[in-house]
Amino acid sequence: MARIACEVSNCSHNKENICYANVINVGGLNAEKDSDTCCGSFLDSVHYGTLTNNVNDPGRPCSAITCNVISCTYNSNKVCSADSIHVSGENADIYTETDCLTFKNKNN
């Protein structure tokens, strides 16, 4: 199973619902719920074309997830410690319209 399952089919890094970016960055500094988070690596394929050639590991899905969501249980020194994540945001136009559905608020 890929580490990043992605429903954002119009993202340049998405190939068959798997992320092929070199690294993704989950944003949402003080998020309280998953809709307060986003995938900062989102690039609309309309403007950027297909970018599914991971230069760090050619032909392999992305496995590197940085995270600046300090309120998330899985944030371990700005690196995601979850085994896998799920990103949503069908037909997103900009990165803020995406969400990390794996987000779990450590304050709850």
Share of the chain above pLDDT 70, in %: 92
**Mean of pLDDT values over 12-32:** 93
What percentage of the chain exceeds 90 in pLDDT?
72
pLDDT for residue 55: 61
The C-alpha angle with vertex 69 and arms to 76 and 63, in degrees rounded to 5, equals 60
Domains contained in the chain, number: 1
For residue 30, the one-letter residue type is N
Domain carrying residue 42: 1-108
Confidence of residue 44 (pLDDT cuts 50, 70, 90): very high
Does the pTM surpass 0.85? The reply is yes
Check pLDDT > 80 for residue 71.
Answer: yes
Mean pLDDT value of segment 9-29: 93
34 contacts 48 by C-beta, under 8 angstroms: no
What are the Cα distances from residue 88, in Å, to 4, 56, 58?
Answer: 11, 24, 24
Please say if the pLDDT value at position 1 is more than 60.
Answer: no
**Backbone phi and psi for residue 86, each to the nearest 5 degrees, phi listed first:** -125, 120
